[in-house]
Chains A and B, each alone.
Chain A
Amino acid sequence: MAAQAHIARPDPHTASDKEWGEYLFMRKNPKGVHFERWFHANGCRKWFHMARHTVSHEILAIYGITEPAPKLDGGEGTS
């Protein structure tokens, strides 16, 4: 299973209801390069990051779960 990566959990003490709602429910859904968290469910249970194209499914980068998103050609780096 995969889900959007690099979503910072807002400070629960200062986050507004709207910010908290966005953190919970709003997701980037790009048609193009997507930075994701993946979980090796049937294997080592490791979480890792992947930059992947959502149309071609091409895998552009794999990087550690604590690492920031790399800059990619044609894709934005976000973290």
Chain B
Amino acid sequence: MTQAFRNADGGLIDRGTRINFTYDGQRYQGNAGDTLASALLANGVRLVGRSFKYHRPRGIVGSGAEEPNALIQLGEGALTEPNTRATQIELFEGLVANSQNAWPGVGFDIGGINNIVSKVIPAGFYYKTFMWPAKSWMLYEKFIRGAAGLGKAPTEPDPDIYEKRRVHCDVLVVGAGPAGLAAARAAGASGARIILADEQSGFGGSLLSSKATVDGKSGAQWAADVTQELAGQEEVRLLPRTTVTGYYDHNFLVAVERITDHLPFADRKGPRQRVWKIRAKQVILATGAIERPLVFAENDRPGVMLADAAKTYVNRFGARPGSRAVVFTNNDSAYRAAIDAADGGIHVVAIVDLRAKPEGTFVRQARDRGIEVIANSAITAVKGAKQVSEVDVMTLSDDGTSVSGGRRSLDCDLVMMSGGWNPTVHLASQSGAKTVWDDTLATFLPGEPKQAQRNVGGVAGQFGLAACLESGASAGAGAALDAGFDAQAGKTPAIEAGEGDGELNLRPIWTVPSDRKGAKRFHDFQNDVTAADIALAHRENYASVEHFKRYTTTGMGTDQGKTSNVNGLAILAELRNEPVPSVGHTTFRPFYTAVTVGALAGNDTGPQLLDPVRKTAMHTWHEAHGAHFEDVGAWKRPYCYLREGESVKQAVDRETLATRTSVAILDASTLGKIDIQGPDAAEFLDRIYTNMFSSLKVGSCRYGFMCKDDGMVFDDGVTARIGENRFLMSTTTGGAPNVLNWLEEWLQTEWTDLEVYCTSVTTQWAAIAIAGPNSRRLLSELTNVDLSNDAFPFMTWQDGDVAGIPSRIFRISFSGETGFEVQCPASYAMALWRALMTAGEKFNIMPYGTEAMHVLRAEKGFVIVGQDTDGTTTPHDLGMSWIVSKKKDDFLGKRGLARPDTLREDRKQLVGLITDDPNEVIPEGAHISPEPHAPPPVPMEGWVSSSYYSPNCGRSIALALIQRGHERMGESVAIPLEDKVVRAKIVSSVFFDEEGERLRG
């Protein structure tokens, strides 16, 4: 295909570099410097999409982030990306683009039937129907959902990577148009740390599509020179292709840099996009302004375009969006666009102006060039289904609400419209600044800044080049000064007379009248919302701005209303007979333009980095020996070790039996360990634990409970007294971080008189539990420490070498067997583990996992905090009143345990349950009911917290929390399951070795 609509010269594209691309299966060529939109226009492609609701044919409207229509399914396979604006896609070799939301294609789209019935489906129609027959909504919904949505999500995982950077700067300048460049130049000269970010590939903003000259050079050249000057400054960071998209509290802004999206796939290396998290001392917003459409009959036909966009295509890309243009405007700026279009080879048929007597520099220039100006008139119809072919023009009444007189038809294939300009106030508004209405410009401007922030150029309502350059330079210097640097605005660049004229002389006509009844006048193209929809919303009293938005869906498309919001509000204001500012606008929320999920997730994804996995020193051994892991807190723990051909249950049974019959070892390294030191350490622990620790002798250990101050059990563990002023606390695996925070909280905030220091040593020390009748014999082979019961009684600890490794041996047990726990520096732990496994061969030693540990402790009735407690359980509920000191004056939870609620007699209490059928294992989580056969809601009096088959007991066992459980020993209770009612007897929670002979033996 030839680029039939490409001018032979002019613009910033590289005519020497041809780029091949495919759109809807057809091959085309563009040039380096093109966007997909400009390349399509150069090839004469005007129809680029179908609208969301009515599936009306649509063409390109804008030239940047505001584009509502030209949404593209970009790329294929895993790299496909829906809803991408053709106006912001930089063309690259091999680009594949497809139109979306149309079937079979944009040319003929079945969904277009919606347009035919559009009369019946105005705004909010779905709230009024689809209710019959009852409960049929889901059927209707299926079809509605299928018709809705725009592009398609990829079906494969995204192969790209993303990253984030966090930076501080003195001055962040958002937008590198004339104002932003001037600001950065003035601030940069001071030596302040500057970041200049712009969403486009090149800096210059409006200068890139303007014929204005600055300092005697073309605008683009001036921008390039300033950019180069800035690039040479050490403290200046230039971020092209970077959209600052969120403005948060404390001058914290989020920007997204597109690093490789513009490159051919083969050239893409490294991260695709980068999120910049910027903390700026001063912010300068030079975000420009977006042209506003006019809301007139059939204004959505392909070929109706913003005047400035048409100018941009001609000036910057040398691409003609049409051959015969009618310009339709309410202000002066479109005249400049008309002149540039004419210069660019477009025949400007006429300028239709809503104003009675347009005059001004550009109006005069247009007239001088022989362009017909049809003043005091309106376009009342646009013809041509898939491409504009003709417009009707009629005379406007004085008040602008009706048209009259003869209808004049103008033959054209392009309508360039301008309804004025909307400053891009999004970021300013996100920062907390209220907007203010400007009557002259008929738009919202950013109001008084709420943070250290300035607005310059178009966003501040300055549409003249001179004003932009001047305000930019002055703000740049001011921001640098405020950030503590010596700065000056410097000399304002010279521009040609007339270029600086930013006057719009605008006459707002929010809804352009037409003689065609029922003709659609769109203010929101993407979501297909018309002036009639606004009227309907108003009529039905969805008249507040938020109701109007939600009811009509104005501004809720992917363009977030960049071209539609102000028009919509103004039309609503007219209906409400109020000024626009009293109607207000909806809140501007992040993001300015949508941000890729992958970019926001950044590097912190995947099994390694999402939440780093914690592994013990013996992890690789576990892996090599069939460990089936479970996640406990951030740790991976062996649940059991599977042997060839074994089921999980078989493995757990085997490990459970082995522990009670010979010896088995458990990697207990994950339990939290906190080294607590200081002269007040003992007193501190007395306050933290429910039981007494000051009485603990050096060399001994004690099991302790911690409660929150409401008396509910929070964590547990064994704490050893290492010295007079030193303890080693152990915590649950998952609770370790919270316990450390808890200790610090009390030390730092409440008990500041105590001198105590807490340090987490969880990962410094590995821990191996050795349990079983042969545990002493095994350990004796590896250490000289006298392990006899007399020399090393239960609940004591001693230092000593084990297998030549300096270790600390604890005589403690969570299995109820004779047992030891050996702690050694983590770096030696693998050697210790191997030594134990080797020495234990003769005892048929085996490792056991967490599930066997759970069964073993349940056989003994030992509770697991978090499994047998749920945040509403007290030590008394657990039948562990012995652990609650009566002697201590105070401890955390003491007063809470005396509250009426915690003293209630009908509290759920921990008991054992044995089923009538010894082989029946009650499912954990099952509830106990006094009336198991009652119809729902079946009353519940407790629940089963732990339940296992105990190979050592030769039967099932369970722990349950049952109302008044402690006084109901021997009682039979019912557990209603889905298909049956299980009966069980309430028994003591200790099922095995009730006297503890093995433990102490």
Residues of A in contact with B (beta carbons under 8 Å apart): 9, 12-13, 15, 17, 20-21, 23-24, 37, 39, 41, 45-47, 56-59, 65-66
Query: Cβ of B710: which chain A residues have Cβ within 8 Å of it?
Result: 24
Query: Cβ of A41: which chain B residues have Cβ within 8 Å of it?
Result: 741
Query: Cβ of B890: which chain A residues have Cβ within 8 Å of it?
Result: 12-13
Query: Cβ of B900: which chain A residues have Cβ within 8 Å of it?
Result: 17
- Per the CB 8 Å criterion, the residue count for chain B at the interface is 20
Across the interface, A47 reaches (CB within 8 A) one of B432, B740, B744, B899, namely B744
Across the interface, A56 reaches (CB within 8 A) one of B432, B752, B896, namely B432
Query: Cβ of A66: which chain B residues have Cβ within 8 Å of it?
Result: 752
Query: Cβ of A65: which chain B residues have Cβ within 8 Å of it?
Result: 748-749, 752
Across the interface, A46 reaches (CB within 8 A) one of B249, B748, B752, B899, namely B748
Interface of B is mostly: loop
CB pair A57–B249 under 8 Å, yes or no, is yes
Q: Tell me the complex Cα distance, A59–B251, Å.
A: 13
Q: Tell me the complex Cα distance, A65–B745, Å.
A: 10
> How far apart are A52's CB and chain B's nearest CB, in angstroms?
10
Query: Cβ of B450: which chain A residues have Cβ within 8 Å of it?
Result: 56
> How far apart are A69's CB and chain B's nearest CB, in angstroms?
14
- Rank and list the top 6 A-B pairs by shortest CB-CB distance, nearest first: A12-B895, A47-B748, A57-B249, A24-B710, A47-B749, A12-B890
- B702-728 near A? 1/0 per residue, CB < 8 Å: 000000011000000000000000000
Query: Cβ of A58: which chain B residues have Cβ within 8 Å of it?
Result: 249
Known: A17-B899, A41-B741, A57-B249. A12 touches B894 (CB 8 A): yes
> How far apart are A44's CB and chain B's nearest CB, in angstroms?
10
Q: Tell me the complex Cα distance, A59–B900, Å.
A: 40
Query: Cβ of B748: which chain A residues have Cβ within 8 Å of it?
Result: 46-47, 65
CB pair A37–B895 under 8 Å, yes or no, is no
> How far apart are A26's CB and chain B's nearest CB, in angstroms?
13
Chain A's closest residue to B708 (CB) is A24
B979 at the binding interface (Cβ < 8 Å): no
Q: Tell me the complex Cα distance, A34–B890, Å.
A: 30
> How far apart are A24's CB and chain B's nearest CB, in angstroms?
5
Query: Cβ of A24: which chain B residues have Cβ within 8 Å of it?
Result: 709-710, 896
> How far apart are B495's CB and chain A's nearest CB, in angstroms?
41
Q: Tell me the complex Cα distance, A37–B741, Å.
A: 13
Q: List 16 A-B pairs, Cβ < 8 Å.
A: A9-B750, A13-B890, A15-B895, A17-B900, A20-B895, A21-B899, A24-B709, A39-B745, A41-B741, A45-B741, A46-B748, A47-B744, A47-B745, A47-B748, A56-B249, A65-B749
> How far apart are B377's CB and chain A's nearest CB, in angstroms?
49
Query: Cβ of B741: which chain A residues have Cβ within 8 Å of it?
Result: 39, 41, 45
> How far apart are B675's CB and chain A's nearest CB, in angstroms?
14
Instruction: Give the residues from 436 to 452 in chain B that come closer than 8 angstroms, CB to CB, to chain A.
Output: 450
CB pair A20–B899 under 8 Å, yes or no, is yes
Across the interface, A45 reaches (CB within 8 A) one of B249, B744, B752, namely B744
Instruction: Give the residues from 740 to 784 in chain B that come closer than 8 angstroms, CB to CB, to chain A.
Output: 740-741, 744-745, 748-750, 752
Query: Cβ of B896: which chain A residues have Cβ within 8 Å of it?
Result: 20, 24
Q: Tell me the complex Cα distance, A45–B890, Å.
A: 26
- B591-613 near A? 1/0 per residue, CB < 8 Å: 00000000000000000000000
Query: Cβ of A57: which chain B residues have Cβ within 8 Å of it?
Result: 249-250
Chain A's closest residue to B450 (CB) is A56
Which of B450, B895, B900 has most chain A Cβ within 10 Å?
B895
